Amino acid sequence: MAVTEDDVRRALSAVPAPDGAGSLAESTALSAISISGGRVIFAIETSPERAGALESVRKAAEAAVRAVPGVSDVLVALTADRPAGSAPAPRPASPMAARGGRAAPPGATPPPARPAGGAEMRGAGVPGVRHIIAVASGKGGVGKSTTAANLALALKAQGLRVGLMDADVYGPSVPTLFGLHEKPVVEDKMMKPLQAHGLKIMSIGFLVDEGTAMIWRGPMVMSALTQMLTEVSWGELDVLVVDMPPGTGDAQLTMAQRVRLSGAVIVSTPQDLALADARRGVAMFQKVDVPILGIVENMSYYCCPNCGHRADLFGHGGARAEAQRMGAPFLGEIPLAIEIREGADAGAPIVAFAPDSEHAQAYARIAEGVWTRLTKGAPGRTPPRIVIER
């Protein structure tokens, strides 16, 4: 039975509006309603100071729509805009000041000790998931998603239980990379991840029609990401690889603060422009105390398949030099190769369809480096030097 917008609005007519006047269906706080098969997505607009108080309205709206015949899943977000010219909410004092050798304010609570493994326990974990790692980039177009997919497969090839979550809400690539386009099954209000090549995979691209423009504000994006983390039956995993959105915006920062990340892998190309953006990505994770597991130089060089001539189209070695400058591990180089591109476009990443190839082995070495740092510990940054002046 096809679900229509009228069906959804009829259900929401029983939910009170945020201001108490009339129903949510008639309220201007109700956003546009997106329907994809049996999945319904919409937002309730409010103010930042009222967002917490309206959680009961959000839950009532979700329950009302979930009861509509034909609805299999519902995503309802509270979106709060900050008024123009207003100051952001004050942030709690960061314990990093004390770690950098500066005294903490009088009476401040000392930061908790960093547990073995190098990652400070922050945010919430995902039940059954041992490590969550972010694959990020300072800008788009550097091959971050392809790297995330092949890294996940290379970790799986080591005998680990691995999941892959596509957190790039505005441009989900994982469905194309793995040739997956069906909708996930919902059981007991939990989505079951799709599977390919032994990986458990979830993407916002599975929940909306291909080509749909995701015109979402930050709070709605975070609601979707939280749902993909906590309302998916991930089961027991050694590693959950998260393909982050490019850049260093609100979605990346909020996820880094709310989710217990074991570390981050930064992907960059060799040229100065990309490295400048990668620098910002590293700085963002360092500010929220997420360990940098390493930097990958993608599209590092090109070898002609006919004559074997090598050309450094984007320069070469920039990411390695940048890693040394920042005191971060350098994980390895991935060439600009037709085979990698063809596999990605065909829904068969190179580690899956040509595991013994030179390119797949490059990803395998990167995966070994990542796993070593996860299990033996990797510093989030170069330890500070405290200089005492006399």
- Report the alpha-carbon distance of residue 199 to residue 153 in Å, rounded: 7
Q: State the CB neighbour count (10 A cutoff) for residue 324.
A: 12
3-class DSSP string for 319-361: HHHHHHHHCCCEEEECCCCHHHHHHHHCCCCHHHHCCCCHHHH
Q: Is 138 annotated as a binding residue?
A: yes
Cα–Cα nearest to 284, from 261, 305, 306: 261
Q: Is 142 annotated as a binding residue?
A: yes
Q: Is 189 annotated as a binding residue?
A: no
Q: Is 156 annotated as a binding residue?
A: no
Cα–Cα nearest to 242, from 208, 267, 279: 267
Q: Is 143 annotated as a binding residue?
A: yes
Q: Order of strands across the sheet with 34-36?
A: 34-36, 39-46, 73-80
Q: Is 141 annotated as a binding residue?
A: yes
Q: State the CB neighbour count (10 A cutoff) for residue 223.
A: 19
- Report the alpha-carbon distance of residue 303 to residue 177 in Å, rounded: 23
Q: Is 308 annotated as a binding residue?
A: no
The distance from CA 98 to its chain's CA centroid, rounded to whole angstroms, is 29
Give residue 20's region: left, alpha or beta (phi > 0; psi -120 to 50): left
Q: Is 173 annotated as a binding residue?
A: no
CB–CB of 356/146 below 8 Å?
Answer: no
CA distance from start to end of the chain: 79
The distance from CA 354 to its chain's CA centroid, rounded to whole angstroms, is 27
Binding-site annotation: residue ranges: 138-145
Binding-site annotation: residue ranges for ATP: 138-145
